[in-house]
Each structure stands twice: as structure tokens, then as C-alpha cells.
Amino acid sequence: MTETTTQQNTAEKTPSTPTPVSTAGSRPFAGARGAGAPRGGAGAGRPGFGGASNSRGGAGARKGGAPRGGRAGAGFERVRPEFDNKIIQIRRVTRVVAGGRRFSFSVALVAGNRKGSVGVGIGKAADTASAIEKATKSAKKNMIKVTLTPTMMIPHEVKAKESSAQVMIMPAPGRGMVAGSSVRNVLELAGIKNVRAKILSGSKNKLNNARAAIKALGQIRTIKSTKVTSDK
């Protein structure tokens, strides 16, 4: 009885041999992953994207190869218009009709090429962009060519009246431009230098003042043109 019990205790203390596990088709253990190491080993990238160095085309790369922050067509230069323009007056006009009110915009502007050509135009439309476009076309249609000296000055004094506005324009050598209100805009866009203008009337209507300035500039004559007129 004692020998049988001893044999049973010896059999229980003897470790059993582990059953071998097949590793076919399983992924081998590569060790503990350190801090900051990419999943799957150092240098391993996402499958199908060419690794960490070539992930989605590389660092800072975008579709089409353009660097981040660049603009397509950055070397394109906008074509400068032939005529410059300045808005001298813009008003919102209200018209009462059956059923309510209708609003529209009236724009008056001066257009010129700063080389002797200048004109004033007005435009009316339901929005400001269309009104400005119409006013620009009107100014180009009513544009005049101012007779100037080689130094871009007017040869003599002129005076004109438009409605209640009366304007006098005089040459002023060495003084630059001395003018105000919409008359200054007309003289600037005409390209006239060393000139002095004075509004003789008390009118504050910028459109009438600009039209009076255009009418005065249209009266300028040179000595040659004056001789031809007198001979006729």
C-alpha cells in the first residue's frame, strides 16, 4: 500500500511534455515593440503605399506634384484696361409702382486714359455692377480729346457753364494740380499737369461740375488751330 502511494505521488510531480504547436501560416513574434517604433517593424510602411518614406507620394507632396502652398498659374498677369475710371456719384433710386417699390442704382463716373482722352457717363441698373458697366460705356461714347502742350499742360485759360455749375480752368506752371471735387478727377484722368481749377458757382452737384469741366476742356485751342479758324 505504501509503495503504490509513493508511485502515484512521483507520477504527479513529474512534468508532462508540452504538445508541439504547428506554426505553419502564423506570423512569427518579432519581439516587444519599443516606444515610437512603427507598427510592424522599423521602416515598414502601410501596405500598398510604398513604405513610410513614400507614403502618399512623400512628405509635403500633393496630387499632381505641386508643392503645398503653391498656386497654379501664379505667373499670370492681369491685363490692364485701356481706360481708368473713378466713380464720382452713386445713388439708390426708388420708384413707387402698384404693389410696392422698385429700387435701382444710378452711377456717374469719369473715364480716361491719362493721355488726353476723358469723358463722363452715367448708368442706371438694378445692381451696381451693371450700372457701372453702363456708365463706363457711356463715358467712352462721350469721350473727348483734349489739346495739350508737350509738357501735358493746357495752353490757355478756359471757362464753361453746365446747368447751374460754372468752372474755370487755368494753367499753373510749377504748381502741380490745384483743384477739388469732381473737377480734379476729370483733370487727373485726362493726364493734365500744372493746372488750377476753380468752381465759380455754388453748385455741389458733382455730375454737373464734371460736365462743366469736360465742356471747358473741349474749348481749348492751340495757336495753329486758331490761325486756321481765323483764315477761314
Q: What is the pLDDT of residue 198?
A: 93
What is the bridge-based pairing of β-strands 195-199 and 177-178? parallel
How many CB atoms lie under 10 A from the CB of residue 98? 4
3-state helix, strand, coil in the chain (%, to 5): 25, 25, 45
Angle, CA 90 vertex, CA 88 and CA 94 arms, to 5°: 155
Cα–Cα dist 6/216, whole Å: 136
Q: What is the pLDDT of residue 203?
A: 87
3-class secondary-structure state, position 133: helix
Q: Residues of the chain whose pLDDT is less than 50?
A: 1-2, 5-6, 42-45, 47-55, 60-61, 228-230
All domains in the chain, ordered by first residue: 84-145 (3.30.160.20), 158-226 (3.30.230.10)
Mean pLDDT estimate for the chain: 76
Among 11, 151, 136, smallest CA distance to 83 is for 136
Q: What is the pLDDT of residue 82?
A: 80
Cα–Cα dist 108/181, whole Å: 14
